[in-house]
Chain A
Amino acid sequence: MTPTLQQTEPTSSRDDRKAVVTLDSIVKEFGDVTAVDGVSIEVRDGEFFSIVGPSGCGKTTTLRMIAGFERPTRGRIHLEDEDVSQVPAYERDIGMVFQGYALFPHKTVGENVAFGLKMQGVPEEEREKRVADILSLVNLPGTEDRNPTELSGGQQQRVALARALVVEPSVLLLDEPLSNLDRKLREEMRFELKRIQNELGITTIYVTHDQEEAMSMSDRILVLNKGEMEQIGEPYEIYHGPSNQFVADFIGDINALPGTIVSKTDSQYTVELEDTGDEIDLPRSVAGRELQVDARVNVNVRPADSQLDTKLEEGISLQGTIEAINFLGKSANILIDVNGREFLVQANGRTAGGRYQPGDSVTVNWKTEASILLQES
């Protein structure tokens, strides 16, 4: 037991579940390029764990190392209690859904799904039953004799999922499984994936560049950038308490106002904003970690946490001019010029939508505690 280590982990009821996949300081180098640099994670039993980051951040390489298609240059990978770092892919108890589905074009849907069972030597009769069961689970009952090429993208996706799940692996890996689907189908499949994952209670590691997708489905999220871990935590934590400017920018929209810390007390920081010269006081709780006087910082605020012309008891106000209004129905995105810096406010569509015109002078407000104070990266 190392109590100090435990304190750094987010407190959550899930913590007592056993780790199914453990990565220990994984490094992967391709020649001179370090694709993954020191990634350590513990994915717990039944957890839906996402790895997000921009393209080239090492998320797919990480997943491929877990699957066994790449060997880590350094570090260990454990599957339950077994060190699988050097175990070939076909001996790992892991199911995977590929970005392009990778359905065997020369086999029927039934043969595709039965493939893993055949490799395990499951007798044909049982194979047929299990294939039929899993195809009903993914809402494609009776499609055994179809050719995968006859199916739509969404259906192929379900077949790929069924093929990975039918062998009852201890972990399911999903590599950008929704990226080839159109928007509407993508949203449907999010619910579908989550339903199936819940129903089976299977430990799932999900790789995506779409942070919204990750947030809507995951128990926890790892944000990767240039092969390094930026933050690991629950969606709420990562969205509202990003640990650095990269995470703040990558996860959701954010307004970042640069400034300098001019003084600090035991309870608050005073920041002078670069654009307006305003000095604002922020409680220490909005900063992720201790900041020094003269440090270059960003005062961040989410567009959805910002308002226009509102009287707030504990708030921050800035003067600006409306540049553009993008009315979306339930909300309106209003772009405001605050002394040369663009500031986005996501206002309520009903109250703000018809009230403003471009060129209007407005006050931008947000609650002090909605600020996120981060060191400039």
Chain B
Amino acid sequence: MDLTNEQLIQMYTTMVKIRTFENRVAELFADGKIPGFVHLYVGEEAVATGVCENLTDKDYITSTHRGHGHLIAKGGDIKKMMAELFGKETGYCKGKGGSMHIADLDLGIMGANGIVGGGPPLASGAALACQYMGNDNVAVCFFGDGASNQGTTHEAMNMAACWKLPVVFINENNMYGISCCTTKSMCVPNIADRAAGYDIPGVVVDGNDAVAVWEAAAEGINRARQGKGPSLIECKTYRHRGHFEGDPCTYRDDAELEEWKEKDPIPRLEQKLLEMELLTQSKIEKIKQELQKDLTAAEQFAEESPYPDISGLLEDVYT
């Protein structure tokens, strides 16, 4: 099955939506309007977009500390996201969770996760539930290169492989776990190489190419839906910004960043869609204006929303 023209335009729009949201969050954070930490997804948009284009609301995703892109690609409400980032009561977690805890169970979003390697066991658990319920829903686990070295990831993959669970592990290899390059934290060049140890398919794909990611994810997700078990797809990508906002990035050089910016997934798809005459400059402008309007509304909603009342401090606390 091929991507339809509508899907291609939707994927482009989703990537621009993520980029626009993240760039504004960077500005708001710098202005001191967002408390806590934010880890931005700028540069990695093709991964979440390409994968989630294959999913329905009944499918599950688990996310990471860099989760805004996953949430938007899975259909998350940017008003509630922005309100949560502002720490407001109208946010996804009533303003008490912040960037790293946003979840929307109605959309199958099991949550961003501040614990590196926290997502894989949740994804295998969700996949076990799908298998137990006998439906053809799947779970997708987004996880980073740092998480790939955590024991939880090994346990989750091993169990998923043993039980042929309908889960697809999507590794976002952006080359750095905080400041540590994968060349120093791993003894194999590809995280996908580890799939052989679980007897599951493991493939490497260009994570800055939304169509390439879509193709690989489509195969892995269909495989999972058909009861053939898990797979591991490693998407090679790069974050344009630091690990967190404020990170001086002294551990990587400018030339590396510039080279990856040349492989920016958004202009790549934009150029292709212009060639295919699916987009025109005026259509692009219109898409961007609409997104900007929605973003402005989300920001206003967040600004105008109240902070949670102190009386609710101990509500929604799970131990």
Binding between chains A and B: no
Chain A residues in the interface with B (C-beta under 8 A)? none
Chain B residues in the interface with A (C-beta under 8 A)? none
